[in-house]
Amino acid sequence: MDNNKTVKTDVKLSIVERIAYGLGDYSGNLVYSSISAFLLVYYVSVIGISSATAASVMAISKIFDGVSDLLMGRIVDKTHTKWGKARPWIIRASIPLAICTVLMFSVPAGLTGTLQIAYVFLTYNLVSTIFYTALNVPYATLQGLMTTNQYERGLLGNFRMLLATFGTMTVNTVVMKMVVFFGGSDTSQKGWTITYVVLMVVFLLLNLLTFWFCKERVVEEPLETETQKSGEPSAIEGLKSLVKNKYWILIVIMLFVIYFMMSVFFGSNFYFAQFVVGDAGAYASLANAISLSQIGIMFLTPFIMKKIGTRMTALVGMVLCVIGFILTVVAGGNVSFLIVCNVIKGVGFGMGAATMFGMLQDAITYGQWLTNVRAMGMGNAASSFCMKVGSGIGTAALGFILGLGGFDADPTSASAIASINVACIWVPIVASVIGGLCIAMFNLDKYYGKVTADLAAGKWKGSSDK
């Protein structure tokens, strides 16, 4: 790069660029939500693998998945191309990811026994562990490379989560209908294969839009320090720099507890409707109250962030979550009251989801200024790793909580009902309080102007203090 050329990074993005970035997570959820919602159904109902075997494949693969996040973060940090650090991977990863996703939902009928399990293990890890990670870590990093403007980063996070939600809704709405349309039944292998060929063509086109319209403006400038002469920081140096960054630690703790809470809460929601409310049919209304209010508030969060700031928007969201869960205790089995409670929770979830990734990028930018170590990719990868760990531990915790309550023996017993309430109400309250405390201590706003000004001038905290 020409060091005499000034690159403006604190820029306002166009609506086209914001939407293009959000489309990246819409397309990503065509894969991610397919795995979450339908892969187990496909494995068990279509190719006849036992649920225990399928679950074991996914659980074992999580180990590799977490390691691949960190490796991909390191790769992004070392990437230097004319398209930037993150954008090239949108194209490089999306093509093999699309192919492998089709293969994952196309287990050959002739494979049985060990060969079948080997095929499932291989294709699942090619998708989840390798190529989805190779796409998602750079995609998350791209948010921090498009602009250093806090409000714009918040907006990008808002567009990302809004379109991600629409991506999930698309998968939940069309997949089974497409399978039946193309194959004649929901167990037709032909139907599943054609469905994912179509979805992956859409996936590729959307990622092409993200690559084409999103631009990286936050480029590496030489900083005033001799250590840069020795070359790229090592992976250990990158991780050490993250640990020294209190704002990154705060946001990662928040992300960990929120993803932990989501696994416990959403995993127990149906049981809450069935056994606590006593009406399994109420589940759809209760769940939709959360989803629709979450989507609705995301149309308003850009205006809220502009008025009160990203941090305060997130904090209000956490407070609303606590209020919604506390009111759930009062509501008891009153479905109408519970719907109101879930609307409050959905608004809180939406405000938190719209802001958390923008705050993460701000924290990583602060870390570069604090330590003079550029770890944009590693910072996003390590946070992604913590989110996955939080989600995995949350799933295990849900099983432990229900087990303590004797849920398997008698889901209608007093102890089982109490365990469902713990999972669906009290764990989320504690997690939301912890998340709120992390946000309350996230007072980066008062330093951020100096941080971006120094970095734009090629300075960091150590050099600016001299």
Multiple choice CATH, 235-464, 1.20.1250.20, 3.30.365.10, 3.90.550.10, 3.30.450.20: 1.20.1250.20
The confidence band for 403, taking pLDDT boundaries of 50, 70 and 90, is: confident
pTM given for the model: 0.75
CATH number of 15-219: 1.20.1250.20
| Residue 1 confidence (pLDDT) above 80 | no
| Two structure tokens written together for 421 | 């309430």
Number of H helices, E strands in the chain: 19, 0
| Two structure tokens written together for 106 | 């196309």
Domain positions in the chain? 15-219, 235-464
Q: Which of 216-220, 260-264, 421-425 has the highest mean pLDDT?
A: 421-425
pLDDT confidence of residue 228: 46
pLDDT digits (tens, 9 = 90+) for 16-49: 999 999 999 999 999 988 887 788 778 878 998 8
| Mean pLDDT, residues 433-456 | 90
| Mean pLDDT, residues 189-208 | 97
Comparison of pLDDT for 249 and 58, the residue scoring more: 249
pLDDT confidence of residue 104: 96
pLDDT confidence of residue 22: 95
pLDDT confidence of residue 7: 53
* Cβ atoms of residues 349 and 373 within 8 Å: no
